[in-house]
Amino acid sequence: MKERLARLQGKLLVSCQASEGDAFHDPPSMARFARAAVRGGAAGIRANGPADIAAIRAAVDVPIVGIQKRLHPDGRILITPGFDDARALVEAGADMIALDSTARGQRYGALERLARIKAALGVPVLADIATVEEAVAAARAGADFVLSTMRGYTEETAAVQEFQPGFIRDLVAAVPVPVIAEGRIRTPDQAAAAIRAGAFAVIVGSAVTRPHEITDWFARAVGNAWTRLNQPLWIAGIDLGGTNTKFGLVSRTGELRAESFAPTPSGGRQPLLDHLKSTGARVISEARAAGREPAALGVATAGWVDPAAGRVVYATENLPGWTGTPIAGELSAALGLPVAVENDANSLAVAEHRFGAGRDSGDFVCITLGTGVGGGCYTGGRLNRGSHFFANALGHIRIEADGLPCTCGQRGCLEVYSNAAALLRYAGPGFQNAEQVVSAAKTGNQTAVEAVRILARRLAQGCSTLVHLLDPELLILSGGIAQDNQLLIAELERELAACTTVWEQRRLRIRLSPLAYYGGVLGAAAVALEHFDWL
């Protein structure tokens, strides 16, 4: 038996069970399932009841984990609630016995029964548990293995609806006996994740032996996808910029409604939060008045963001006091909608990938040119955020040693040579803002044209670093400076060609964003669509 158990390490076991009323609820069917599972590579079987186990034992020669499910007087099923049940399972051909060793099972004598089964029947005993504490208690009582079978099926763990590799890792660290992963494992990737987390073996049941449940999963997925694609869906989007805040309502396909903007207030965290709340309330109110119920809110903000927490990890003094702000929590509580938050440049990249110039590209860099300079990078079809959410800080690539001071605290950053203030500086007196410089350049004003050329040369210094590092197929320019600025595209391409190796072979394309002035609003909504997979 020790040799047979050793052969289970790193292997798959299949749970061959069918509930009463199931089309396969009979011993011959379970034996056929077991035979098919072993032929497919299963190293062991888990089965319920002496009749099924006897049929399976006659069909296969692999270790069998025996259980007996019985309705307990408290009205719920209990796994192997009596010693006589265990003995009948062994006599039918079970090599191992599993029993409910959760807190509930322990209240009904599981730990004492566990020890008696080992001593009297001489077979390994497996403890089905739901928490680390239950696993520790079962191991101390003599369990040979602990199984994560009951995770998500007890009152204490009812909120768990998906397989958790991290829980397996916690079990492995907490108990001195092997851990077998079981429960809610529905895909090969999840089974592999269990092994990577330290599991001795993996048991899979419904995903293999319950065709009606497998059919139900696929039917629900197909139906939900169809419904999501064909029912109207609206997302409120807010783009919090250093100068202006843009907002509007966005459909699933990128249709923009009720777009507008307002000045971004100064004064630090609380005024900004109050501004976001009032802006969000305005968007939601106007949407509802038009008969469009927003399903979620997306926020694009300056600063680096932890999207899972909806919190600003770090922001420069363009937005004083913004570092650490829990935007999602604050807005969700105030507005009653789920809220997704992302860095503004990353948000625009998501919008380009979903609605804009990057729809057919998995490797591109989206560069925003405005009050600041930001970047969002897609590599291999995925948004690159970095391990600490600080990736894509294109504006803070240093291009000038001991250069001009930047709001980040460094000197010589690309941002201070490629933002709106830089363009105005290159143009000299006679222009009120960067938009005037761009407009004048379009009419052929030589001072403005030269200013755009200088900015393109500086921008190329930073972009060449990204091109050499990431080798993208596409650069997308957005923001106020880039909008409708074909001269900038032409000059940037010429400058990049001069400072980038193997330029011809790269076939790098440079495009203006088609998303225009409200691209950030589309980005905020796109982030919400990506973040909430039920949308």
Query: Does 163 map to a domain?
Result: yes
Question: Do 503 and 384 sit in the same domain of this protein?
Answer: yes
SS3 333: helix
Separation CA 257–CA 248 (nearest Å): 6
- What length does the chain have? 535
Query: Does 111 map to a domain?
Result: yes
Question: Do 21 and 85 sit in the same domain of this protein?
Answer: yes
Q: 45-49, 265-269, 452-456, 493-497 — which is least confidently predicted?
A: 265-269
pLDDT in tens, 132-159: 999 999 999 999 999 999 999 998 998 8
- At 119 the pLDDT is 95
Looking at every residue in the chain, the average pLDDT score rounds to 93
Question: Do 74 and 43 sit in the same domain of this protein?
Answer: yes
Separation CA 57–CA 68 (nearest Å): 16
Q: What burial class does residue 491 get, using C-beta atoms within 10 Å of its C-beta: 0-12 exposed, 13-18 middle, 19+ buried?
A: buried
Band (pLDDT 50/70/90 cuts) for residue 351 is very high
Separation CA 479–CA 455 (nearest Å): 14
pLDDT in tens, 78-130: 999 999 999 999 999 999 999 999 999 999 999 999 999 999 999 999 999 99
Question: Do 313 and 455 sit in the same domain of this protein?
Answer: no
Query: Does 525 map to a domain?
Result: no
Band (pLDDT 50/70/90 cuts) for residue 165 is very high
What residues pair up with 476 in beta bridges, in sequence order? Answer: 366, 511
167-176 exposure pattern, b = at least 16 Cβ within 10 A, e = fewer: bbbbbbeebe
- At 148 the pLDDT is 98
Nearest to residue 197, comparing CAs of 171, 177, 174, 176? Answer: 171
Nearest to residue 459, comparing CAs of 424, 488, 421, 437? Answer: 488
Question: Do 261 and 394 sit in the same domain of this protein?
Answer: no
If one counts every other C-beta atom within 10 angstroms of the C-beta of residue 112, the result is 12
- At 120 the pLDDT is 97
Query: Does 505 map to a domain?
Result: yes
CATH assignment at residue 319: 3.30.420.40
Residue 474 contacts residue 365 (beta carbons within 8 Å): yes
CATH assignment at residue 199: 3.20.20.70
pLDDT in tens, 401-420: 999 999 888 999 999 999 99
Question: Do 60 and 193 sit in the same domain of this protein?
Answer: yes
Which residue reads 């660290």 in tokens? 173
DSSP per residue, 33-64: HHHHHHHTT--EEEEESHHHHHHHHHH--S-E
Separation CA 90–CA 120 (nearest Å): 11
Band (pLDDT 50/70/90 cuts) for residue 315 is confident
pTM given for the model: 0.62
Higher local confidence (pLDDT), 225 or 33: 33
On the question of pLDDT at 333 being above 70, the answer is yes
Query: Does 352 map to a domain?
Result: no
Query: Does 94 map to a domain?
Result: yes
Final residue before a domain boundary, out of 217, 242, 259? 217
Band (pLDDT 50/70/90 cuts) for residue 1 is low
Query: Does 173 map to a domain?
Result: yes
Contacts of 58 (CB under 8 A, 6+ apart): 31, 93
On the question of pLDDT at 216 being above 90, the answer is no
What percentage of the chain reaches a pLDDT higher than 90?
79
Name the residue range of residue 463's domain.
362-514
Question: Do 407 and 498 sit in the same domain of this protein?
Answer: yes
- In this structure, what are the phi and psi dihedrals at residue 265, rounded to the nearest 5 degrees? -75, 160
Distances (CA, A) of 482 to 78, 420, 485, 489, 511: 66, 10, 5, 8, 10
On the question of pLDDT at 210 being above 90, the answer is no
pLDDT in tens, 366-392: 998 988 898 899 999 999 988 888 888
Higher local confidence (pLDDT), 112 or 232: 112
Question: Do 417 and 269 sit in the same domain of this protein?
Answer: no
Give whichever of 14-28, 134-148, 150-164, 521-535 has the largest mean pLDDT.
134-148
Separation CA 297–CA 331 (nearest Å): 9
Question: Do 119 and 255 sit in the same domain of this protein?
Answer: no
Separation CA 255–CA 528 (nearest Å): 15
- At 175 the pLDDT is 97
User: How many separate domains does the chain show?
Assistant: 3
Separation CA 169–CA 179 (nearest Å): 9
Separation CA 519–CA 356 (nearest Å): 9
Question: Do 72 and 196 sit in the same domain of this protein?
Answer: yes
Q: Residue 6 has which token pair?
A: 């050793």
Question: Do 424 and 341 sit in the same domain of this protein?
Answer: no
Band (pLDDT 50/70/90 cuts) for residue 208 is confident
Question: Do 179 and 246 sit in the same domain of this protein?
Answer: no
